[in-house]
Amino acid sequence: MKKQPMNRDWIATARTLSEALPYLQRYTGAVVVIKFGGNAMGDDSAMAEFARDIVLMKQVGVNPVVVHGGGPMISDLLNRLGIESRFVRGKRVTDQATVEVVEMVLAGLVNKRIVQAINDQGGRAVGISGKDDDLMVCTADDPELGFVGKPVEMNVQILRDLFSAGMIPVVAPVGTGMNDNETFNVNGDTAAGAIAGALKADRLLLLTDVSGVKDDTGEVVTQLHPDQVRQLTEEGVIAGGMIPKTETALAAIEAGVRAVVILDGRVANACLLELFTEHGAGSMIRATPPRVSPRGEGL
């Protein structure tokens, strides 16, 4: 077969791969925790694309951990089972009947769907929950909310063992209680932050349905220091659903995570853009400024 002449798209692709080399080298052996959720979870093509990115990350030497949510799927099954949902200050009250559905959906349906998607792309994914090997031990976050958990003890050796075996952990945010073998529903962002902090991860990527943290003009702020985050929150610029995400970011950084990025999971290859390009994606929050590259810190 006669070779086709080079075109501009091929040349641009080759240039992109070449420019990615220092970033590929920089993340070899790094631990990256990814919180996966939002619209991408309900779309088969978006799920497959996300899974392909995770497999590529593992292939080039990154140790990814996927932590997922599943709120819409929980609500759907509760409605089908005729279990009424109650809310306090906008948060779902998780009674005994509800937490059983939560565990069924998160550790079963959603978790195994993501595992299968990664395996379909040639990866080796293993699905676990925060209850496995007491990965995430919790207490009640708020007595009014019932079995909604706050992680107080993290045992991440199981994740390190999976890294060593060449596996990609996929974690459902269901934790175990300190007493009486309770099961706790844990917010996905909170669980991802706690896991990232316990692993001293290089990156925590919080995939959302927005483009990042915005300033008072509506522009995405590409880099933030924790003090800036606190100021924007006090001023009411960071508000609504962005508050728990930035709170998770600050807690993770305090626990030893090198940087947290809040980015739009609807963008194709968002994780790869963040890790392996100079411009990155979304809003990066980190305690210290980069030394050389805007997003390549220390290259």
Burial 110-127 (b: 16+ CB within 10 A, else e): bbebbbebbeebebebbb
- pLDDT tens digits, 78-129: 999 999 888 887 678 899 999 999 999 999 999 999 999 999 999 999 999 9
Tell me the C-alpha distance between 145 and 136, whole Å: 19
What is the predicted pLDDT for the residue at 282?
87
Residue 266 CA to residue 269 CA, distance in Å, equals 9
The band of 9, judged by pLDDT with boundaries at 50, 70 and 90, is low
Confirm whether 28-201 and 208-299 share one CATH topology.
yes
- Indicate the class that CATH gives domain 28-201: alpha beta
Share of the chain above pLDDT 90, in %: 61
pLDDT for 39 equals 63
Q: Give the pLDDT of residue 299.
A: 42
Does the pLDDT of residue 294 top 80, yes or no?
no
Beta strand ranges found along the chain (DSSP E):
31-36, 63-68, 87-88, 91-92, 125-129, 136-140, 149-154, 168-172, 174-177, 183-185, 203-208, 223-224, 259-264, 283-285
User: Which pLDDT value is given to residue 157?
Assistant: 98
**3-state DSSP call for residue 100?**
helix
Cα–Cα distance between 285 and 275 in angstroms, integer? 14
CATH of domain 208-299: 3.40.1160.10
**Does 209 score more than 60 pLDDT?**
yes
Q: Which two tokens stand for residue 176?
A: 């175990």
Contacts of 127 (CB under 8 A, 6+ apart): 107, 111, 112, 114, 115, 170, 172
> For the segment 30-87, what is each residue's pLDDT rounded down to a tens digit?
999 999 986 667 788 889 999 999 999 999 999 999 999 998 899 899 999 999 888 8
CA distance linking residue 275 with residue 118, whole number of Å: 19
Is residue 108 within 8 Å of residue 92, measured between CB atoms?
A: no
Q: Which two tokens stand for residue 10?
A: 């091929």
- The proportion of the chain whose per-residue pLDDT surpasses 70, expressed as a percent, equals 89
Mean pLDDT to the nearest integer, 174-190? 92
Other C-beta atoms lying within 10 Å of the C-beta of residue 244 = 14
Q: What is the pLDDT of residue 18?
A: 65
pLDDT digits over 217-231, tens only? 888 988 999 999 999
Q: Which residue has the higher pLDDT, 24 or 83?
A: 83
> What are the structural domain ranges in the chain?
28-201, 208-299
Residue holding tokens 């963008």?
267
Residue 298 pLDDT greater than 50, yes or no: no
User: At residue 288, what are phi and psi to the nearest 5 degrees?
Assistant: -125, 150
173: CB partners within 8 A, 6+ apart: 67, 68, 69, 106, 129, 130, 136, 185, 186, 187, 188, 190, 191, 192
